[in-house]
C-alpha cells in the first residue's frame, strides 16, 4: 500500500522519480525500491515523505483514506479567510497563476525544512559497491553471466551500498515496459544469482534464445510454468519445455 500511495502522490505532482529525489535527502535507488515494494521506508523517512506530500502518516501507510494531518484541521485565521475570499473572486487564469506560485513556495519551504533537519547527517546510504551491469536483450543465448572469459559485454558501475545492493551479484538493465509499473524501461535491477526462483517472485530468465524479466508462476492445474508480466497489456508466456528454461537470478531491487 505504501508503494501505491507514493507512486500516486508523485504522479499527481507530475514528477519523475529523479525529480522527486532531487528535492529530498533520499537517494534514487532507495526511493525507487520504496515505490516498487522491494523496501519499506523507516519512521524517519516516512516523516520526510509525509511532510513533503502534505499528507498524514495514516494515509501514507494505507490505514486511512483521509489525507489531512491532525495539524491541518484548525480554525482559519482572518488572513486565511481573506485569502480564500479573494481567491474565489479570481477568474480561471488568476487561479492558475496563484496555484503555480503557491505550489512552488510550498515545495521550496518543504525542501528547506527537510534539508535543515538532515544537516550534518549522511544520506541514508554512504558507502559504495561496484557491480557488473548487463543489458537484458544482449543476454539471449548467454551461457553464463559469471564466466569472465566469455564474450558477454558488460559495464562496471558504482552504486550506493544498501542492504539490497550488497546482496546483489550483478545487475541487468531492463528493456521494455512489460514489468511496469514496478520496473520501467531503462531501470537497472539488482539480481541475486540463484539456481531457481520461487513462484510469485520476479527473476531474470533465459528461454528459447530470449531473455526475460518476469514474475514466475506455476499453474498446478495445467501443470505448466508461466512467465508473467506485471503490465496487463502483455499476455503471460507459457513455457512449453520447462527443462529449457534457465534461471539466471532473482530480482531483489532497483538500482540507480
pLDDT in tens, 13-51: 898 888 888 888 888 888 888 888 888 888 888 888 888
Residues 34 and 132 in one domain: no
Spatial distance between the Cα atoms of 4 and 181, rounded to a whole number of angstroms: 10
Residues 168 and 110 in one domain: no
Residues 239 and 136 in one domain: yes
Contact 136, 204 (CB under 8 A): yes
pLDDT confidence tier of residue 73, bands split at 50, 70 and 90: very low
pTM of the model: 0.54
Residues 158 and 232 in one domain: yes
Domain count, the chain: 2
Contact 134, 152 (CB under 8 A): yes
What's the domain range around 71?
1-124
Residue 202 is placed in which grid cell? 520476479
Residues 81 and 68 in one domain: yes
Is the pLDDT confidence value at 81 over 70? yes
Residues 17 and 82 in one domain: yes
Is the pLDDT confidence value at 113 over 80? no
Spatial distance between the Cα atoms of 31 and 6, rounded to a whole number of angstroms: 9
Amino acid at each position: 500500500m505504501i508503494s501505491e500511495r507514493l507512486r500516486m502522490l508523485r504522479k499527481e505532482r507530475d514528477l519523475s522519480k529523479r525529480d522527486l529525489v532531487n528535492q529530498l535527502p533520499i537517494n534514487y535507488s532507495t526511493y525507487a525500491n520504496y515505490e516498487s515494494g522491494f523496501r519499506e521506508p523507516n519512521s524517519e523517512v516516512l516523516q520526510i515523505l509525509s511532510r513533503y506530500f502534505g499528507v498524514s502518516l495514516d494515509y501514507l501507510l494505507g490505514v486511512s483514506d483521509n489525507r489531512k494531518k491532525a495539524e491541518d484541521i484548525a480554525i482559519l485565521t482572518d488572513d486565511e479567510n481573506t485569502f480564500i475570499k479573494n481567491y474565489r473572486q479570481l477568474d480561471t487564469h488568476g487561479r492558475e497563476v496563484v496555484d503555480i506560485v503557491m505550489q512552488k513556495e510550498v515545495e521550496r519551504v518543504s525542501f528547506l525544512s527537510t534539508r535543515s533537519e538532515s544537516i550534518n547527517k549522511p544520506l541514508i546510504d554512504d558507502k559504495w559497491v561496484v557491480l557488473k551491469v548487463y543489458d537484458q536483450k544482449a543476454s539471449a543465448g548467454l551461457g553464463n553471466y559469471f564466466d569472465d572469459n566469455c564474450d558477454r559485454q558488460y559495464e562496471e558501475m558504482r552504486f550506493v551500498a544498501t542492504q539490497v545492493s550488497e546482496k546483489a551479484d550483478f545487475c541487468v538493465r531492463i528493456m521494455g515496459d512489460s514489468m511496469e509499473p514496478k520496473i520501467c524501461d531503462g531501470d537497472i535491477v539488482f539480481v541475486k544469482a540463484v539456481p531457481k526462483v520461487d513462484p510469485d517472485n520476479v527473476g531474470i530468465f533465459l528461454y528459447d534464445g530470449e531473455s526475460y524479466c518476469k514474475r514466475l508462476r506455476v499453474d498446478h492445474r495445467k501443470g505448466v510454468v508461466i512467465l508473467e508480466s506485471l503490465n496487463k497489456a502483455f499476455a503471460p508466456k507459457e513455457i512449453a519445455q520447462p527443462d529449457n528454461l534457465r534461471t539466471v537470478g532473482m530480482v531483489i531491487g532497483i538500482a540507480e
